[in-house]
């Protein structure tokens, strides 16, 4: 089956291809199909994931999987949250977002945070309700950037049990333990039951 992963982020596409390999589906990114990203104006991770999945599925005619995820920092009342990709402004880089977050927490001792991912599977050819799943990864924000293996906030997201940032722990660890991996495992189980 052909399925759209509703992202233009090649790092996310590769992560999903690995995590969803048991389905033996062909995955395409928005970029592969020439589809622009929709405006994400939802108020929650679920709403934004649903917007992206419906958009990709409606335009392509294929089922779509979309995620919305972000970093929620306790002492910032859940920010950056749904604005994680744009925390330092529109078109900001990962480095810009990381720097802004580190500056926001410069004098903060309470640095607990969680990555949250919500996934939605939407099939435009089905009357079934969309499937969804949520995953979380608890940690804290490091005082500086460490590690090169990852993207987004990985270099400053510290896992105390491992005494390393997510970027230092590498792809194998992330593919097993990340918020997206946890949500994808839940969604994968739901999809395998539907098959």
Q: Are 21 and 68 in contact (CB under 8 A)?
A: no
Cα–Cα distance measured from residue 126 to residue 29, given in angstroms and rounded to the nearest whole number: 21
By DSSP bridging, strand 112-122 and strand 131-141 are antiparallel
Active site residue 154: no
3-state secondary structure at position 61: coil
Residues 6+ apart with CB under 8 A from 32: none
> Which listed residue (67, 68, 94, 154) is catalytic?
68
Could you tell me the strand order of the sheet in which 2-5 lies? Answer: 26-29, 2-5, 64-73, 112-122, 131-141, 157-159, 164-165
Q: Which residues are catalytic?
A: 68
């Amino acid at each position: 089956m052909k399925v759209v992963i509703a992202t233009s982020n090649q790092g996310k596409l590769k992560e999903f291809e690995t995590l969803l390999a048991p389905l033996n589906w062909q995955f395409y990114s928005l970029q592969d199909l020439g589809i622009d990203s929709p405006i994400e104006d939802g108020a929650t991770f679920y709403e934004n994931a649903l917007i992206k999945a419906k958009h990709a599925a409606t335009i392509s005619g294929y089922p779509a999987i979309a995620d919305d995820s972000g970093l929620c920092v306790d002492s910032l009342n859940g920010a950056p949250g749904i604005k994680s990709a744009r925390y330092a402004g529109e078109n900001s880089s990962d480095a810009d977002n990381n720097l802004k977050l580190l500056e926001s927490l410069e004098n903060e001792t309470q640095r607990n945070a969680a990555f949250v991912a919500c996934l939605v599977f939407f099939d435009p050819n089905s009357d079934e309700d969309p499937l969804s799943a949520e995953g979380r990864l608890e940690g804290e924000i490091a005082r500086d950037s460490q590690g090169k293996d990852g993207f987004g906030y990985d270099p400053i997201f510290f896992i105390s049990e491992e005494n390393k940032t997510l970027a230092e722990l590498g792809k194998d660890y992330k593919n097993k333990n990340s918020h997206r991996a946890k949500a994808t495992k839940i969604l994968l189980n739901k999809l395998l039951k539907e098959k």
